[in-house]
Structure 1
Amino acid sequence: MRYCLALDLVDDPVLIAEYEKYHEKLRPEIEESIRSAGITEMEIYRIGNRLFMIMETDETFSFEKKTEMDAGNPKVQEWENLMWRYQQALPMAKPGEKWLLLNNIFKL
């Protein structure tokens, strides 16, 4: 299954560069948490301070399972807290929401 999500970064060139640097070589424990949740491929694109993520998942993936796994993983919590320094919620996000799922409105 493919999922597409969006999130904004704090609009500061120095912070954006730092954020990208963290993603050049992902921490092994973070990559393991992503893969063990059933995410087989993940890409993040950026324009300005807007991020766009594409996730390909297998049949074992669910957002609920990923959230539960992340909540019980101190390394993922540390990573999420660090990343939140660079990220900001989209204007339409509810309190506590980060990455928002995009609706597919066209397919060729």
Structure 2
Amino acid sequence: MKKYCLAVDLKNDQKLIAEYEDWHKKVWPEIIESIHQSGIVSMEIYRVGNRLFMIMKTTADFSFEQKAAMDAANSKVQEWEQLMWNYQQSLPFAKPGEKWVLMENIFSI
């Protein structure tokens, strides 16, 4: 099993943040299915202020490239991602078009 941590910012608007959290209380079943089909075993998202932090545990053969290809071919995932982009914004140092940014592990015991 592998573990990945990623971050993205929300637009700094309390109404939008509340809406984003509401959407995550009722994630579409097709999105949950897509997450599991890609090799993600578990996923958690935490928030502090307008920053989001995601922890993903995946199968050993999980691939971000394969997940991206699966997502691109799934119209429901594309619809969800477009909807979520109304609430999210790139981190200041993200590459153009990059949403969630993979974090580097700098300490572990």
Which category of TM-score, normalised to the shorter sequence, fits these structures?
over 0.9
* TM-score in terms of structure 2 length: 0.98
For residues 36 and 27 of structure 2, the distance between their equivalents in structure 1, rounded to whole angstroms, comes to 12
Moved over 2 A (4+): none
* TM-score in terms of structure 1 length: 0.98
Query: What 5-or-longer segments of structure 2 have no aligned partner?
Result: none
| Residue 36 in structure 1 maps to residue 37 in structure 2 | yes
For residues 72 and 60 of structure 1, the distance between their equivalents in structure 2, rounded to whole angstroms, comes to 20
RMSD: 0.5
Are the counterparts in 2 of residues 5 and 101 from structure 1 also a CA contact under 8 Å?
Answer: yes
Q: Percent identity?
A: 66
Equivalent in the alignment of 1:88: 89
SS of the residue corresponding to residue 24 of structure 2 reads helix
| Residue 71 in structure 1 maps to residue 72 in structure 2 | yes
For residues 95 and 59 of structure 1, the distance between their equivalents in structure 2, rounded to whole angstroms, comes to 29
| Residue 19 in structure 1 maps to residue 20 in structure 2 | yes
Query: What 5-or-longer segments of structure 1 have no aligned partner?
Result: none
Q: How many residues align?
A: 108
Q: Which residue identity lines up with residue 34 of structure 2 in the other structure?
A: S
Q: CA deviation at 1:61?
A: 1.2
Are the counterparts in 2 of residues 40 and 58 from structure 1 also a CA contact under 8 Å?
Answer: yes
